[in-house]
Structure 1
């Protein structure tokens, strides 16, 4: 039980972090393109 919920928690956290990373990456790329 505890192992399963821990795995789910890690999986969800990983998904959120990767989504945030993609959002930040595209935002900074957009800012770089605008500043040129």
Structure 2
């Protein structure tokens, strides 16, 4: 594995609403960057500590 010299970060955010296309957007960007020859790693962070995101009201 080669060491990344200048890593770049892209954050895809969308709140607690599901179905707004966060996953599709992330996958599409990763595919485009890989096609350009870049190394891509996707990480999903769930910042809801001790909270069930499904019970949160997005409005």
TM-score (norm: length of structure 1): 0.50
Give the unaligned 5+ runs of structure 2: 1-16, 39-59
Q: Which has the larger radius of gyration?
A: 1
Q: Give the number of equivalent residue pairs.
A: 23
Query: In the alignment, is residue 24 of structure 1 matched against residue 37 of structure 2?
Result: yes
More relative contact order, 1 or 2 (CA 8 Å, 6+ apart): 2
> For structure 1, which runs of at least 5 residues remain unmatched after alignment?
26-36
Shift of 1:12: 0.5
Q: 4+ runs of 1 displaced by more than 2 Å?
A: none
CA RMSD of aligned residues (A): 2.2
Judging by fraction of residues, say which structure has more helix.
1
